A and B are shown apart, each in its own frame.
Chain A
């Protein structure tokens, strides 16, 4: 389904945008016609990757407000899409089971920390932790002064091996911050809410002013 580059581009655009995306915006982002975008978006809906809702873009309601627009957003369900077929989930479960039984939490955390540091310290890499976490699928959002992560990228595995996987996750994020040029301004802590990632982040107070500019919520036109 996502082997098609046009479809993949559309899917990435829709899932990477907070809220819903209309056909016009999706077509523009993908550089294709509105009708072609509509065709591919509906294919993604048929496949269960996106879902549809109808909304009036004008903000008006009642007679004369115009027809509601068809809007797209990521579907709630969890999908593993791989071309050609792969089955990393079965392997990761087995590996986690063995690591857990062997009591290798510390080694796993050290490896995650090192991997995070090397990603954070990559030359020409993205330097903003918010953008890096977004790219990794964490879906970051500001909750007052804390940066929370709406999605757990390791959800199914974390559900089965919470202590192991959540510990690995925190160490990975701490490593990432340690590797980033301005990472020392940030701190990460285990701070689970009922849903989403178990980690939240905060900016040290003296570095707060510089960060405030980036906290503006993206407004839809």
Chain B
């Protein structure tokens, strides 16, 4: 990687309630695209980590909300807001996003939050759900924000260690 490692990474969480069970015909189109879309994330520039269940392939086995079998969570860590944004909106991931209402319930409240974490940290399900609770309670802020109004990382890195300003070692 070029330049020194960021002190902070961007964590993101998405929650959603699917319209039918994962093994139903209605969700087949979504489930079929998961391996491709997850592989795309794993190879995307700026990707750091994504939450997986016991199966290890994706996070569809996690049940973050009581015993609601239709409530799914998606959580990942990125080097920057831009890296996540490019993957979300400027890759083949967009084709899944454009069909979200075929598979997921409309959620009236916030279902997405981003926040900064120390590089190396891996958010837990509880921690991610707390960020959803935070943005629902207080609206967008430094502790939980969206693409509409991204916040910068907490502590500014000294200018001479900014990414891109020093040659690769």
- Taking Cβ atoms with an 8 Å cutoff, the residues of A that contact B are 101-106, 109, 160, 162-163, 166-167, 170, 189-194, 198
Contact = CB atoms under 8 A, between A and B. Distances in A.
Contact of A192 (B94, B100, B105, B106): B94
Interface of A is mostly: helix
A101 B111 CA distance: 12
A189 B95 contact: yes
B92 interface: yes
Q: State the 3 A-B residue pairs at the shortest beta-carbon distance, nearest first.
A: A103-B106, A167-B98, A190-B95
A103 B102 CA distance: 10
Interface stretch (B7-15, B83-91, B152-160): B83-91
Interface of B: 86, 88-92, 94-95, 97-102, 105-106, 108, 148
Contacts of B94: 162-163, 166, 190, 192, 198
A191 B86 CA distance: 13
Q: Which of B88, B90, B148 has the most CB of A within 10 A?
A: B90
A163 B92 contact: no
14 contacts: A103-B101, A105-B101, A106-B102, A160-B148, A162-B88, A162-B89, A163-B94, A163-B100, A167-B97, A170-B98, A189-B95, A190-B92, A191-B92, A192-B94
Contacts of B91: 192
B109 to A, nearest CB: 10
Contacts of B148: 160
Contacts of B99: 105, 167
Nearest to A190: B95
B98 A106 contact: no
Contacts of B100: 105, 163
A102 B95 CA distance: 20
Given A102-B106, A106-B102, A194 B97 contact: no
Nearest to B89: A162
A99 to B, nearest CB: 11
B92 A105 contact: no
A192 B90 contact: yes
B95 A105 contact: no
A170 B97 CA distance: 12
A101 B108 contact: yes
Nearest to B99: A167
A162 B95 contact: no
